[in-house]
Amino acid sequence: MGIRTGTGTGTRRMTVAQAVVEYLSKQYTVDRIGTEDYRERLIPGTFGIFGHGNVAGVGQALKQYQAADPTIMPYYQGRNEQAQAHQAVGYARHTRRRQTFAISTSIGPGSSNLLTGAALATTNRLPVLLLPSDTFATRAADPVLQQLEQPYAYDITVNDAFRPLSKFFDRVTRPEQLFSAFHHGLRVLTDPAETGAVTISLPQDVQAEAFDVPEEFLAEREWRIRRPDADDEDIRRAAEAIRAAKRPLIIAGGGVLYAYANDELAKFVELTGIPVGNTQAGVGVLPWDSRFSLGAIGSTGTTAANAIAAEADLIIGIGTRYEDFTTASRTAFQNPDVKFININVAAIDAYKHGTTLPIVADARKALVKLNQALGGYRVGGDLEQQVAAEKQRWDTTVDEAFDTRHTPLPAQNEIIGATSRAMDAQDVVICAAGSLPGDLHKMWRVRDPFGYHVEYAYSCMGYEIPGGLGVKRAALAEAAVGGAQRDVVVMVGDGSYLMMHTELVTAVAERIKLIVVLIQNHGYASIGSLSEMLGSQRFGTQYRALNEEQHSFDEGDTLPVDLALNAESLGVKVIRIEPGEKVIAELEQAIRDAKAAPERSGPILIHVESDPLLDAPSSESWWDVPVSQVSDLDSTQQAYQTYTDHKSRQRKLLG
């Protein structure tokens, strides 16, 4: 069967869902990086879990196009709607926001299961196209199964919950609305300053409705990624401020990577000697051993970056949102005269910290201009020496943390060291929540701009496996056109694993070689340690059998849970590392063995146990988590004292 072509009248009779699928198959992004042009499909595939709402409309359309030509709009499965959004986000991050997936859901729970995925994408400024189905526009069969009925507002459906979580929202209640909904939806999806979740709600009857679609709507179309240049006067004023600075510091975020500005940044720091601290999304802007890289900054930072930040008189934020972890909840910068220059494509970020020196521009273009405007400026030798000394001190701390050998259960630090040693430079490590993200931020020795993806804007437990699968899909596509061959290694805690591991089945179905290092520590090491610091004595943070008398989960036996067996039961190849003297050596070898397995041989999970009480080296920093002001517990009263001491160092909120 072929797809019907034009009738000669300039229109084609098709359903709304068919028009959506064909339209999306014709959309391309074009991105000029320096002198190179990238042209790729914006939506290389569509995920769907079918139920009433999309089984006939979008489902029929996908089937019809698959039958005609499977490359028009490849269909992908997932086991959970939220996880599908995570896959799309992982893909979008690795393709530097040039590509993402569309996700079709059934109505009601199918749609509302996507909400966390929408919030994660929007918070991370990463594009996803969400197409949740909706109840009848005609109200013919109201209330349908899974319909939310609100007596005060008949037009509300669960899909309205996407509005605050999306960067663009529309509902297509008439076929004619399709054109503006998708045109403006894709405008936002491909806009570096605006992107996030784009949600277009599709009522189930409208999806199946036929209308005359103009050929023009179905023609190939290119969306050029805008790379706006910096204003000359903004650059002149910024250069003046930099020349006047004695202790400038760059904070580099994810925006540097999305703008492919890392080479320009390297040139900039080489010329000026200004050191760089990086955010979670900015790991990879410089290789870890660059002499200008102080590594991670803030609450999960290195002592090197935090020592330099404390005295900095000028912060040059590039592509950063200044999340509270980055600023150590606004205690990182203690110089009373500190000023901020913020280079960001999004005005909301460029204006943060009350700055009078915003540069609303593409990071790469702004750096090219700043490099020219600075002509010969270089920081003093004393700052360069201090940077070298602080860096040396931190590197020794990490060497020690990697090289201790606790038995029978290792510290997580040692597991990170082993994983990092076993991986190649171009491989990608993935994480999102628990104690791992902070530990990785501090200690991971990144060697490639694509080598590290820790989702730490939303830090969503359960992102790790689906997000990693999305990254691996993108890495496979990259390799298929002659790019780097990358193994993707997901590091995940038992809590996150239990929350969402079912995309392992998707990896099994598609024989995708995703490598997972699962760290079993019987609960929440991260929140346990935080709880203890705040005087709450690790309450509710361990997985233990219920003590019925005390109604407590804190003291009982660990649970007879076997997560290795759980993964095995899903069809995953599993390597168990038994506790003992050789844990670290065996883990390192297991990762090397997993890497040696052929592509397309399916997912591999390595199960290792760890001691949750052995923490990573301190950042000598702080994070604002409010402590109870009054309490019957001594531990809480003491924690409140410490809290007020730190609180007094917090800078007032200026924008």
Ligand X SMILES: Cc1ncc(C[n+]2csc(CCOP(=O)(O)OP(=O)(O)O)c2C)c(N)n1
Residues lying near ligand X in the complex (CB under 6 A) are found at 433-436, 459-461, 493-496, 521, 524-527, 612
Smallest gap from residue 378 Cβ to Mg ion (A): 46
Q: Which does 204 bind (CB under 5 to 8 A by kind): Mg ion, ligand X, none?
A: none
Residue placing its CB nearer to Mg ion in the complex, 18 or 521: 521
Closest by CA position to 483, among listed 40, 47, 100: 40
Smallest gap from residue 87 Cβ to ligand X (A): 17
Measured CA to CA, the distance from residue 282 to residue 256 in angstroms comes to 7
| From 81-89, 197-205, 489-497, 622-630, span contacting Mg ion (CB under 5 A) | 489-497
Closest by CA position to 328, among listed 649, 94, 558, 5: 649
When binding is defined by CB under 5 A, the residue of 427, 494, 588, 609 that contacts Mg ion is 494
Provide φ and ψ at 104, rounded to 5°.
Answer: -105, 135
Is there a contact between 303 and 332 (Cβ–Cβ < 8 Å)?
A: no
Smallest gap from residue 542 Cβ to Mg ion (A): 9
Angle at 624 between CA 621 and CA 630, to 5 degrees: 125
Is there a contact between 310 and 333 (Cβ–Cβ < 8 Å)?
A: yes
Which residues are CB-contacts of 186 (< 8 A; sequence separation ≥ 6)? 27, 42, 198, 223
When binding is defined by CB under 5 A, the residue of 493, 535, 602, 603 that contacts Mg ion is 493
| From 11-19, 106-114, 231-239, 518-526, span contacting Mg ion (CB under 5 A) | 518-526
Q: Which does 496 bind (CB under 5 to 8 A by kind): ligand X, Mg ion, none?
A: ligand X
Smallest gap from residue 543 Cβ to ligand X (A): 8
Write out the H or E segment, with its range, that includes residue 470. Answer: helix 464-480
CA torsion sign, 180 to 115 to 487 to 429? positive
Residue placing its CB nearer to Mg ion in the complex, 320 or 459: 459
Residue of minimal Cβ distance to Mg ion: 493
Which residues are CB-contacts of 368 (< 8 A; sequence separation ≥ 6)? 264
Smallest gap from residue 495 Cβ to ligand X (A): 3
Q: Any contact of residue 438 with Mg ion (CB under 5 A)?
A: no
Smallest gap from residue 413 Cβ to Mg ion (A): 15
Residue placing its CB nearer to Mg ion in the complex, 341 or 518: 518
Q: Which does 527 bind (CB under 5 to 8 A by kind): Mg ion, ligand X, none?
A: ligand X
Label each residue of 132-147 as H, E or C: EEECCCCCCCCCCCCC
Closest by CA position to 605, among listed 533, 528, 525, 501: 501
Residue placing its CB nearer to ligand X in the complex, 58 or 516: 516
Helix axes 381-403, 303-311, angle to 10 degrees: 150
- Encoded one letter per residue, x for contact with Mg ion by CB under 5 A and - for no contact, window 382-421 reads ----------------------------------------
Q: Which two tokens stand for residue 644?
A: 């007020």
Q: Which does 621 bind (CB under 5 to 8 A by kind): Mg ion, ligand X, none?
A: none
Write out the H or E segment, with its range, that includes residue 170. Answer: strand 168-171
Q: Which does 459 bind (CB under 5 to 8 A by kind): ligand X, Mg ion, none?
A: ligand X
Alpha helices in 312-451 (DSSP H): 347-350, 363-374, 381-403, 412-422, 436-443
Q: Any contact of residue 495 with Mg ion (CB under 5 A)?
A: yes
Q: Which does 526 bind (CB under 5 to 8 A by kind): Mg ion, ligand X, none?
A: ligand X
Measured CA to CA, the distance from residue 529 to residue 581 in angstroms comes to 26
Q: Which does 460 bind (CB under 5 to 8 A by kind): Mg ion, ligand X, none?
A: ligand X
Residue placing its CB nearer to Mg ion in the complex, 494 or 609: 494
Q: Which two tokens stand for residue 37?
A: 């042009």
Note the Cα 413 to chain centre separation in Å.
22
Smallest gap from residue 492 Cβ to ligand X (A): 7
Q: Any contact of residue 521 with Mg ion (CB under 5 A)?
A: yes
Residue placing its CB nearer to Mg ion in the complex, 117 or 612: 612
Smallest gap from residue 619 Cβ to ligand X (A): 16
Q: Which does 436 bind (CB under 5 to 8 A by kind): ligand X, Mg ion, none?
A: ligand X
Q: Which two tokens stand for residue 647?
A: 């609180």
Smallest gap from residue 626 Cβ to ligand X (A): 16
Measured CA to CA, the distance from residue 463 to residue 362 in angstroms comes to 28
Q: Which does 535 bind (CB under 5 to 8 A by kind): Mg ion, ligand X, none?
A: none
Measured CA to CA, the distance from residue 540 to residue 527 in angstroms comes to 9
3-state secondary structure of 343: strand
How many residues belong to the site for Mg ion (CB under 5 A)? 4
- Chain positions contacting Mg ion, by CB under 5 A: 493-495, 521
